[in-house]
Amino acid sequence: MYLNKIFNKKNTVLLKALIVTDFKLRYQGSSLGYAWSLIKPLFLFAIMYIVFGLMIRIGSIEHYAVYLLVGVVLWNFFTEATQQGMNSIISRSDLLRKISFPKYIIVISATFSALINLALNFIIITILILLNGIQIGSSLAVLPLYLIELYLLSLGLAFFLSALNVKFRDTSHIWEIVMQAAFYATPIIYPLSLIADKSNVLAKLIILNPVAQSIQGVRFSLVTKETATIFTYFSNPLFMIVPIIITLSVFIFGAIYFKKSSEYFAERV
């Protein structure tokens, strides 16, 4: 009943309209338009691959190009979803003052726009997988679960950050610094085995991070079974629940904080 109330016909129509508008406006006026959705992550991937794959040669990872691209694409999605979600309420201040509607729709539409970019980037990943002759097995079945986990974490953070950003405008600057640090604390450009060689405890802490778990899980499903996952460092399968608990806790806390704060959005934006 509660879900039916949230996603009724009126709210669903508004959500779809905002998703389409957000995606269209993002590249409005640019010469290449929607192509930037693919070009930006590919440029970042190319730079990282040249530096870390060819020049520095981090580790000896099978199909490192695809391995790296998966990490870059998923991290870009997480960054985009949280940043776009964080700024969504302020950027839609005119809409908030004109009509009355559930404010959460604005945040969801911003994260869905990032989700569309993720889907487009997976086309590139699929092409690269085929070109490298990678055989995908039954582990592909769990791929959607890792993506759902990453999306729920991103959405929960977007709810919290968007509400916090209305009250404290420095939030976006602080989050940018946090994301820069988190990038290097997440096994995107390097294999987790490099950390485990020096500190197995640190490797365990990293893999309990839902973002790291999702990235490693997707790599295990699509690229190579040599990818370190949570089962590599924990024999007890119950530890698999830890990142899920963190994700659900962040999502619930973010949604509650957003709901309580949304009453004052129109006055503060």
- Per residue in 121-155, pLDDT tens? 898 899 889 988 888 878 888 999 999 999 999 99
| Residue 134: CB atoms within 10 Å | 14
Grade residue 27 by pLDDT with cuts at 50, 70 and 90: low
Under DSSP, the state recorded for 102 is -
The rounded distance, in Å, linking the Cα atoms of 126 and 132 is 10
What is the pLDDT, as a whole number, of residue 265?
Answer: 82
- Provide the residue range defining the domain that includes 54: 2-268
- Cβ burial of 38 (10 Å; 0-12, 13-18, 19+) is middle
The rounded distance, in Å, linking the Cα atoms of 207 and 202 is 9
DSSP element (H, E) containing 51: none
Tens of pLDDT, residue by residue over 171-212, are 999 999 999 999 999 999 888 888 887 778 999 999 999 999
CB-CB contact of 183 with 108 (8 Å): no
pTM of the model: 0.88
| Residue 251: CB atoms within 10 Å | 21
Domain count, the chain: 1
End-to-end CA distance of the chain: 32
* 78-103: b (≥16 Cβ within 10 Å) or e: bbbbbbbbbbbbbbbeebbeeeeebb
CB-CB contact of 258 with 163 (8 Å): yes
